[in-house]
Structure 1
Amino acid sequence: MKQFQYIRSVSQKAAISAITQEPKAKFVAGGTNLLDLMKRHVMTPERLVDINKLPLRDIKEENKGLHIGALALNSTVAEHATIVKKFPLLAEALNAGASAQLRNMATVGGNLMQRTRCPYFYDTTTPCNKREPGTGCSALNGFNRMHAIFGATPHCIAVNPSDMNVALIALDASVQVSGPKGDRIIKMQDFHRLPGDQPEKDTILDKNELITAVTIPASTLTHNHYLKVRDRNSYAFALVSVAAGLNLDGKTIKVARLAMGGVAHKPWRLTAAEQSLQGKQVSIEAFQQAADIAMQGAKGYGHNDFKLKLAPNTIVEALKIASRI
């Protein structure tokens, strides 16, 4: 690991100032992803700014919604009584991610910033536009079983690895950030980027901005399920995952929320599929139609062609479980 300067900040202003003064500085909290990347020399910050002393761990209901501090631990959020009762989709997604040990260290803010697990990104001996812009994408013609089927470009076909992000985008969450220019709120839908011709940029966050909280509007979803398909039942990243939420009036779908993970450079919201379900009766046929709509524009790259069948089947299964039919 390359040597670096370590600073522990006790105020938000000091943390932002410390990160602004060094072009190659990074915030660190749990460090469950960042430290791995540093050990492999994928990321080599000159300075780490420890933000664990900042008062950003609160979880509370406010303004008919939910506020989650950026330093709240994944395990704490997943087990919080209000979240289990009113936002079970988020609790299920968090419990599906990583191991118990990692969930006890990982923070909400860190989870939002989690980087891809593409093996070529981690292997510094191979070309990777995300790690070293302009060198090429080894996954295009390499082993790409885990890679994207939506929104990819010749520059990058990596996927966002987070389970939490999939639930948050389905729940219409927003991300609160603070920086030298002040505070702003970013819709979860806009927070992560598609690769375009700058795959090295995972989010629209400015380098000097600090995530302070996630907010979720009050949920009307009465039937929820997070379904994660993976190679083994624990501590594995999704081949395909689906966050499904429904508001049912009897058997009539009043509101539908759908998002997928493991399929794109960002959590993938299925807006057209959601709209196709509204007003329909709960049925396998309606779910299959929604899944067909969701798959429009999907493209495989060889080893991941199986996702073109797995993804719609996972959507149907998640909706079946959520609606309890």
Structure 2
Amino acid sequence: MRPISYSRATDTATAIAAVTADPTSDFLAGGTTEIDLLRQNVLHPRRLVDINGLPLTGIEVTPEGGLRIGSLARMSQVAAAPTVRERYPVIAQALELGASAQLRHMASMGGNLLQRVRCSYYRDAESACNKREPGSGCSAIEGFNRGHAILGTSEHCIATHPSDVAVALMALDARVLTQGPSGERGYEFDDFFLLPGDSPHREHPMEHGELITAIEVPPAPVARHSLYLKVRDRESYEFALVSVAAAVSVVDGTIADVRVALGGVATKPWRARRVEDFLIGAGVTRENFAQAARVELIEARPTAMNGFKAELARRAIVRALETLTADRSGSPA
């Protein structure tokens, strides 16, 4: 048994200082992933700094009309917030589809963004995994990879990003705010999640001791008409094979604004910018939706076991867009 020391922080500065001072330490919030990985001998921190007492749980409307979510707000708390459900339904839906009720009551928003991949080889301490042990290889590439990524992959890693709400936040141009040894920082969502490339063990640009303090979502009228579609092997708590976060505004039969992001198919929450570029100014037709989806998946790189994901993703994009635009082709949405 490995000894692990534990302390509780009462303020943000103290928590950051404690973790920064010890390269083997880590923050502990909901712990819904971290404790599992400790038990599986995947993570090896010698010290955990409990941050649950920090005042980072608020959900506020910003002066500009956007949303600021504290990093320690629980998933269930955010999903139930009237402002979220009214202005950003895609966020509430992604949270409710992202975990069981028990986990939603424990898991924090910041922790959800930082959760580690669900690749079975990463979680098996005996298997080669470049995320867990850089340079050791990727067992998934030639192994059982049915649930792995087809976009944003590299020869070093094909693991999918597991978060559902991160997909919704990616579609909405959210920002991640942090505080750390170098002071306060803000990251655009697309920059916060790194592609594996040659260094899959590095998933975020944060330095050791840097703490997520809040997530900011800009005002977006289009988000009032949004949804999160999740396709999975079973209806109960399960990770996505493919998911789509989408928001659409239609004026006189033409798409005036559209946001689309994909989950379950990429190594990071995947902004479907080709879909968006194709559809802005286009008519509301199934043919346009299908062509936009084909353009987005043109660079998919499936393995022997997950080739079905490309077609599944195309169909999911079309279904999400058709659902949002049903009966709205002739009037503003």
Q: Whole-Å Cα distance in 1 between the matches of residues 166 and 299 of structure 2?
A: 22
> What's the % identity of the aligned pairs?
49
Q: Distance in 2 between matches of 1:146 and 1:163?
A: 15
Matched position secondary structure for 1:186? strand
Aligned to 1:310: 312
Q: What is the alpha-carbon distance in structure 2 between the residues aligned to residue 263 and residue 302 of structure 1?
A: 15
Q: 1:244: which partner in 2?
A: 246
Partner residue in 2 for 1:183: 184
Query: Is 2:273 aligned against 1:271?
Result: yes
Output one character per residue of 1:253-282: Cα deviation in whole Å (capped at 9) or x when no partner.
111100000111110001121011111121
Q: Which residue in the other structure is 2:158 paired with? A: 157
The number of residues matched between the two structures is 325
The answer for the alignment partner of 1:50 in structure 2 is 50
TM-score normalized by the length of structure 2: 0.96
CA contact 2:75–2:105 (8 Å) conserved in 1: yes
Deviations 1:136-164 (A, max 9, x none): 00000000001010111111000100001
Question: Would you identify which runs of 4 or more consecutive aligned residues in structure 1 move more than 6 Å?
Answer: none
CA distance in 2, matches of 1:113, 1:61: 24
Partner residue of 2:299?
Answer: 297
Does the CA-based 8 Å contact 2:56-2:72 persist in structure 1? yes
Specify the code of the residue in structure 2 equivalent to 1:3: P
Letter paired with 1:60:
E
Task: Quote how far apart the aligned CAs of 1:112 are.
Answer: 0.7
User: Who is 1:208 aligned against?
Assistant: 209
Over the residues paired in the alignment, what is the CA RMSD in angstroms? 0.9
Distance 1:6 1:218 in 2: 40
Q: CA deviation at 1:223?
A: 2.4
- Tell whether the 8 Å contact from 1:2 to 1:41 is kept in structure 2 after alignment: no
Q: Greater CA deviation, 200-209 or 168-177?
A: 200-209
Q: How does 1:62-141 map to 2 (within 5 A)?
A: 62-64=62-64, 65-141=66-142
Contact kept in structure 1, 2:175 and 2:215, CA below 8 Å: yes
Distance across 1 between alignment mates of 2:2 and 2:151: 35
Counterpart-to-counterpart distance in 2, 1:231 and 1:251: 35
TM-score (norm: length of structure 1): 0.98
* Letter in structure 2 aligned against 1:77: V
**Structure 1 gaps, min length 5:** none
The whole-number CA distance in structure 2 between the counterparts of 1:197 and 1:74 is: 33
Secondary structure of 2:255's aligned partner = strand
